[in-house]
């Protein structure tokens, strides 16, 4: 399985380029798997193979807004989610890829499992 994200700045109505994002996996504790930065279109695709388990995407939203001189409430956004094992049947329709978009503003955010 692979994971990607797409961050949109709802305040500006544009892609959120330049946000640092870290993918972590829960073992006995959280282990960083890979880090990256969103591109000009607000996207980042992780190259690491991600077997079944619990994962977290942590977005450095405070730094993003500070660089634009925009006061913000959340210094980071952490989105935790589970990738089920194929034998569990929960992800039977999956293409082997999980997309986790983030809609961001200085005082709110929303996310969902994309396609």
pTM for the complete prediction? 0.91
- Token representation of residue 70: 């925009």
Domain ranges (residues) in the chain:
2-111
Burial 71-101 (b: 16+ CB within 10 A, else e): ebebeebebeeebeeeeeeebeeeeeebbbb
**CATH of region 2-111:** 2.60.40.180
Task: Work out the pLDDT band at 115, boundaries 50, 70, 90.
Answer: confident
13-58: pLDDT as tens digits: 999 999 999 999 999 999 999 999 999 999 999 999 899 999 999 9
């Amino acid at each position: 399985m692979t994971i990607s994200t797409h961050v949109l700045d709802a305040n500006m109505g544009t892609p959120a380029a330049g946000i640092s994002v870290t993918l972590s996996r829960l073992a006995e504790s959280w282990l960083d798997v890979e880090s990256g930065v969103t591109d000009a279109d607000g996207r980042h695709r992780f190259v690491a193979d991600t077997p079944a388990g619990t994962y977290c995407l942590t977005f450095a939203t405070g730094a993003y807004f500070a660089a634009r001189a925009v006061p913000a409430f959340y210094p980071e956004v952490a989105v935790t989610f589970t990738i089920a094992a194929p034998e569990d049947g929960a992800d039977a329709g999956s293409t082997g890829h999980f997309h986790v978009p983030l809609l961001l503003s200085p005082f709110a955010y929303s996310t969902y499992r994309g396609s």
